[in-house]
Structure 1
């Protein structure tokens, strides 16, 4: 039996186990949407913007470990989803995006809503396809899912012209894929793994530096087993949070620009750094020439192009984190004994001293402005028994969430790391909620970031996705303001948000629930009420407008050169208001 391209598209998604599709229609994909409307196996979540569709697919992928799928139309539909593709590419998220295209005979003729989808997406996808023949559609979709989910995961685009979706062909779906030149290495080199084991045995001051690759490879248990066997401290990147339990005694939390004091000091003074599924990005390394100056470096990564890309590596191991850690642990089991642990006693004494000297801390006055750290700490304490999925937007609130919300399991942390996309958090949370309807899904947002995809509240209400958004409302682009205070003499150029909406009324306008905690004493009750609501909620929490994220490594600084608190001139900022730069460059205090 011959099927149309649209029918082939749906059958392929079914064969790949796709249950949820995030999509927004347009002229050239109407045949596909018409066929989707006539079937019941795949739920179509109608988004209000294509960027939202892409981020929802990312959230779905990060929460499930499976490929997220979105469908957009040609032209502006494609240009709108580019941000999500770039975000997924930077964070190695398995995503398959289908875009509509003008009929094949019009490609290149500047037809209505035509865009060069392949050219636009080439820099921000792992691979992309333009399907010009309906007979190639099924095999192309099979290859797209294979490429997106194998090796180092990433986004793949499949561009489908209108005529291809309407023409007919015999449907056969390949059982396997073989792509010349694409053969990811899963098993690490045994000699190099043995070298890594020997280095770990000899090291007096070792550190495990853990990235998001551990999460996507499903290697969390292998990591825990290795760390507990060797008693080596664990540093996590922003993307690696949850790969190792945050409250585990071996965890030192996040490292990098806003990492903990002990995590950054340990990686700087270590004599061995074992990087696992991490890519040595600039937010971790700081000044590259002085990163880990005393350490031998082992790097385990499935992507060979990531190894020695930014940092010289002494022992490179190309392979899947799960497979390599399993073999590494087997070697170490036969050799690790109490002698190594005694060897590192002084190292652990030093780490605990750093931890005591400069812990993560804040001061919350009973009747003072609400500190954002306090909101996240209380949210964590009230929800940790529910094993929530936590999404964030990008900015100060993201860093505080990384510091104070202790993730205990992988696939619970959804954030934009590499691209740093404001507006990511809310749609990503919705994608996770679509995957797990019964789970508690939280979105920690800032008043600036959350407005960038606020239109998706309509999607949340209509699709019954009960995400809880907690807005840390300081009336600033907070991270921009922090840098302006520290490095631009307090000139708030375009960082003050003097038109922040009433988020309670905004939620109600969409048919959702809006709540506000204006005082410290109201916070717990409001958070509990939000969690109990069977539907999407916005919790507006006005917070201290001048609170800054510390520790902080200034751009170009070394890991041990952290700013730990506000300099004296910033400590005198008025607590109850927000400052706005006047045209004359002077600060005017506006009462909250």
Structure 2
């Protein structure tokens, strides 16, 4: 007797399994009940129930970032999906492979405006804004193809979220076919493009490499290329650790700006390069090699000289094989002098420098640091000693205040190494209730809260721009964070010095179970002059050669 075909809920579970996704960050609800009934029997997939839909999506973001593999979340439609939307747009700009499984109201009810539970007009249109591809099942005939397409998409191409919507009335419907193992597809390296890029490298006198998150898998080849051709390397947000901070050819973004007027060739590797090009300018004397798996980034600014649409490591290996060692003199001594000048110029940024050093001392080399939008998070871009890729997790261009606690919990759940989240007192309370999730599921995350009883960055900007007596909506009255943590079953510590943070954070990391370290701080000096640097080349954004 022939076996009956699986239903749509079973096919989705098969897709999770074929993607080697063994955890589902979720908040169940009535539209997804039939899916969770099938998930109950999938003992190889662990549901992590969160306290808010944004927590489920942020945790999936953290898991995807720290591993480089797809992570999954599941929420109900309408308000549930909208609650997760901020986290999905964060995953979009953080280049994370998040699989978003979203419920939907029954097909006959869609588009009618009846006002059924969790109805949202054109939910798919909303999801298209926060994912790279949005799949929606409306007929069981198409279900297997769409489920397969969604899982293939989250594994392939640009690492960004993919959504799959399943209406409540279709979960139990049978669907022919089966789900196969997703295949990641990348474009082959174009040898003609490599030849043209090699010619530019050979003639360049003052090249610069800018790396982003697309370079995470290419550390060794980028270092080899930089050393062979004597090229300095920098990053703004997401490329930290691709080339370790301590490498003689790495320079902070502030130093890169100092060099920018004289740079004649930029090699972007897995980076949008938007910070230098939009902030610092460009002109006809600047050539650009753009290496990226995203076809939209190859010539986004309209000034690319040579584009290589390929995996970063494969492209860099091709360039290494095609280039002769440079005849340019070694640059390590010059870069060391520039870094020393940078350290002197930023010596006044205390206590930020001392706190980032204390965190580095406490976090093991294989540990990951998650930044929220907070003073020490900003400082970490300039001063933290980044040792390897995927060890500094950020929402990138999204700049999402309040994401850090939940992202850190998700990263900790997916990692065998310690994870530390650094948040401010303002951002902490956005997702602080997810400490309950960490306790319930025994996730060893470590949250450091810098408490100045204010949205400190906002307050400082208001003082600087409008006057010390014209601050508004930036002071905060916080709960007792020690009692707050304890109420969840989280072990708390408290300190007010960098030395105290180093010691307490070490204890927290050694502690079995979730922990919170509160650091009482005052107003901090402004780091932004070392990020936002003036235009030093003539052309404005959008002006072609």
Task: Give TM-score scaled by structure 2 length.
Answer: 0.91
Q: Residue in 2 aligned with 1:250?
A: 249
Are 1:137 and 2:143 counterparts? yes
Aligned pair partner of 1:330 in 297, 301, 321: 321
What are the superposed Cα offsets for residues 278-300 of structure 1, whole Å, 9 maximum, x if unpaired? 1122x443436x34774322111
Q: Residue in 2 aligned with 1:157?
A: 163
Question: Deviation at 1:107?
Answer: 1.1
CA distance in 2, matches of 1:500, 1:393: 18
Aligned pair partner of 2:279 in 287, 303, 308: 287
Q: How does 1:298-337 map to 2 (within 5 A)?
A: 298-310=289-301, 312-332=303-323, 335-336=324-325
Indicate the larger mover: 18-27 or 138-147. 138-147
Paired residues of 2:70 and 2:99 also in contact (CA < 8 A): yes
Q: Residue in 2 aligned with 1:480?
A: 458
Q: Residue in 2 aligned with 1:111?
A: 116
Q: Residue in 1 aligned with 2:37?
A: 34
CA distance in 2, matches of 1:295, 1:199: 11
Local SS of the residue matching 2:241: coil
CA distance in 2, matches of 1:536, 1:176: 34
CA distance in 1, matches of 2:343, 2:266: 23
Question: Deviation at 1:184?
Answer: 6.8
After superposition, the Cα gap between the structure-2 partners of 1:268 and 1:543, relative to the gap in structure 1 and judged at 3 Å, is farther
Question: Deviation at 1:236?
Answer: 1.4
Question: Deviation at 1:243?
Answer: 1.4
CA distance in 2, matches of 1:237, 1:552: 11
Cα RMSD after superposing both structures = 2.4
Question: Deviation at 1:75?
Answer: 1.4
What are the superposed Cα offsets for residues 198-223 of structure 1, whole Å, 9 maximum, x if unpaired? 222222211111111112xx222211
Are 1:503 and 2:481 counterparts? yes
CA distance in 1, matches of 2:261, 2:47: 48
Question: Deviation at 1:172?
Answer: 1.5
What are the superposed Cα offsets for residues 373-414 of structure 1, whole Å, 9 maximum, x if unpaired? 3222111022244x1011111133221122222221111121
Local SS of the residue matching 1:287: helix
Paired residues of 1:147 and 1:153 also in contact (CA < 8 A): no
Local SS of the residue matching 2:405: helix
Are 1:374 and 2:354 counterparts? yes
After superposition, the Cα gap between the structure-2 partners of 1:272 and 1:375, relative to the gap in structure 1 and judged at 3 Å, is same
CA distance in 1, matches of 2:65, 2:77: 26
Paired residues of 1:264 and 1:560 also in contact (CA < 8 A): no
Question: Deviation at 1:348?
Answer: 5.1
After superposition, the Cα gap between the structure-2 partners of 1:162 and 1:553, relative to the gap in structure 1 and judged at 3 Å, is same
After superposition, the Cα gap between the structure-2 partners of 1:547 and 1:307, relative to the gap in structure 1 and judged at 3 Å, is same
Paired residues of 2:143 and 2:175 also in contact (CA < 8 A): no
Q: Residue in 2 aligned with 1:235?
A: 234
Local SS of the residue matching 1:500: coil
Paired residues of 2:248 and 2:335 also in contact (CA < 8 A): no
Are 1:18 and 2:17 counterparts? no
CA distance in 2, matches of 1:42, 1:467: 21
Paired residues of 2:15 and 2:180 also in contact (CA < 8 A): no
After superposition, the Cα gap between the structure-2 partners of 1:559 and 1:534, relative to the gap in structure 1 and judged at 3 Å, is farther
Q: How many residue pairs align between the two structures?
A: 531
Question: Deviation at 1:510?
Answer: 0.9
Q: Residue in 2 aligned with 1:55?
A: 58
What are the superposed Cα offsets for residues 315-370 of structure 1, whole Å, 9 maximum, x if unpaired? 222222121111011112xx215x33x2xx4x655534332323164459xxxxx8
Q: Residue in 2 aligned with 1:405?
A: 384
Indicate the larger mover: 297-306 or 154-163. 297-306
After superposition, the Cα gap between the structure-2 partners of 1:292 and 1:425, relative to the gap in structure 1 and judged at 3 Å, is farther
Are 1:430 and 2:409 counterparts? yes
Are 1:195 and 2:196 counterparts? yes
Paired residues of 2:49 and 2:437 also in contact (CA < 8 A): yes
Question: Deviation at 1:504?
Answer: 1.2
After superposition, the Cα gap between the structure-2 partners of 1:285 and 1:474, relative to the gap in structure 1 and judged at 3 Å, is farther
User: Unaligned stretches of 5+ in structure 1?
Assistant: 178-182, 256-260, 365-369, 562-592
CA distance in 2, matches of 1:321, 1:26: 41
Q: How does 1:82-121 map to 2 (within 5 A)?
A: 82-109=85-112, 110-115=115-120, 116-121=122-127
Aligned pair partner of 1:265 in 250, 258, 263: 258
Paired residues of 2:363 and 2:506 also in contact (CA < 8 A): no
Local SS of the residue matching 2:339: helix
CA distance in 2, matches of 1:444, 1:20: 24
Aligned pair partner of 2:515 in 528, 531, 537: 537
Q: Residue in 1 aligned with 2:541?
A: none
Local SS of the residue matching 1:373: helix
Q: Residue in 2 aligned with 1:75?
A: 78
Question: Deviation at 1:81?
Answer: 1.0
CA distance in 2, matches of 1:450, 1:29: 30
Local SS of the residue matching 2:516: strand
Paired residues of 2:27 and 2:49 also in contact (CA < 8 A): yes
CA distance in 2, matches of 1:401, 1:292: 31
After superposition, the Cα gap between the structure-2 partners of 1:158 and 1:168, relative to the gap in structure 1 and judged at 3 Å, is same
Q: Residue in 1 aligned with 2:221?
A: 222
CA distance in 2, matches of 1:533, 1:553: 36
Paired residues of 2:74 and 2:101 also in contact (CA < 8 A): yes
What are the superposed Cα offsets for residues 18-65 of structure 1, whole Å, 9 maximum, x if unpaired? 101100011100111122223311011001111111111111111111
What are the superposed Cα offsets for residues 473-526 of structure 1, whole Å, 9 maximum, x if unpaired? 222222223322333334554453331222211110111011100345533332
Paired residues of 1:25 and 1:72 also in contact (CA < 8 A): yes
Local SS of the residue matching 2:442: coil
Q: Residue in 1 aligned with 2:399?
A: 420
Paired residues of 1:95 and 1:154 also in contact (CA < 8 A): yes
CA distance in 2, matches of 1:7, 1:227: 49
Question: Deviation at 1:540?
Answer: 0.6
CA distance in 2, matches of 1:174, 1:520: 52
After superposition, the Cα gap between the structure-2 partners of 1:476 and 1:372, relative to the gap in structure 1 and judged at 3 Å, is farther
Q: Residue in 2 aligned with 1:589?
A: none
Are 1:443 and 2:446 counterparts? no
After superposition, the Cα gap between the structure-2 partners of 1:467 and 1:210, relative to the gap in structure 1 and judged at 3 Å, is same
